[in-house]
């Protein structure tokens, strides 16, 4: 018998948050995406306590976002190299940078994304890969996937009912 998942446990957003952890982990991933690999680099960049950094790196490694590699025998030292799963986190970091610059930088932007070759500032835009239409809350909703549990189907029925009521309430 297949275990019964709660709608939260089978939600890809909830699973991603569980894998990444909390804000320190996101900042560690941000630094790794900028090329940091060593414990002391992360610690110096973030000002995080060593015990907390060690816990976060262990969690991110167990979650498959990092691979731990020995780079020194004496003393034993490891570096944390992004795994494919960790590299795939880049669009999330890019979205956070764009959001922070747009909404949370009243004094001006201190960090920009830039094209590696030209140096031109880049502002991320999210589009459907097939249609190239923008992906935003005005034109995208959630639907049940092929493995949706009865609990997820019930949760999504509420979303469908809400979406159906929205046009009537706007008139």
| Average pLDDT score over residue span 74-92 | 97
Cβ–Cβ < 8 Å for 37, 80: yes
Residues 83 and 68: their CA atoms lie apart, in Å, by 9
In which band, very low, low, confident or very high, does the pLDDT at 6 lie, cut at 50, 70 and 90? low
First-to-final CA distance of the chain: 48
Give the start-to-end residue ranges of the domains of the chain.
7-88, 89-134, 141-171
How large a percentage of the chain has pLDDT more than 90? Answer: 74
Which pTM was predicted?
0.85
Residue 171 has pLDDT above 80, yes or no: no
How large a percentage of the chain has pLDDT more than 70? Answer: 92
CATH number belonging to the domain at 7-88, selected among 1.10.540.10, 1.20.120.520, 1.10.3720.10, 1.10.10.10: 1.10.10.10
Asked whether the CA dihedral 56, 59, 61, 66 is positive or negative, the reply is negative
């Amino acid at each position: 018998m297949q275990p019964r998942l709660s709608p939260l446990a089978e939600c890809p957003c909830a699973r991603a948050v569980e894998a990444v952890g909390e804000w320190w982990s996101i900042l560690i991933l941000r630094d790794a995406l900028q090329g940091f690999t060593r414990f002391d680099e992360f610690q110096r960049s973030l000002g995080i306590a060593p015990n907390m950094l060690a816990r976060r790196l262990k969690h991110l490694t167990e979650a498959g976002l990092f691979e731990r590699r020995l780079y020194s025998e004496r003393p034993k030292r490891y570096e944390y190299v992004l795994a494919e799963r960790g590299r795939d986190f880049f669009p999330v970091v890019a979205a956070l940078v764009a959001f922070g610059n747009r909404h949370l930088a009243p004094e001006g932007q201190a960090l920009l994304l830039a094209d590696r070759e030209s140096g031109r500032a880049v502002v991320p835009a999210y589009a459907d890969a097939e249609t190239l239409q923008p992906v935003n809350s005005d034109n995208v909703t959630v639907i049940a996937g092929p493995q949706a549990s009865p609990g997820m189907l019930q949760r999504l029925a509420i979303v469908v009912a809400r979406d159906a009521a929205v046009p009537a309430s706007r008139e």
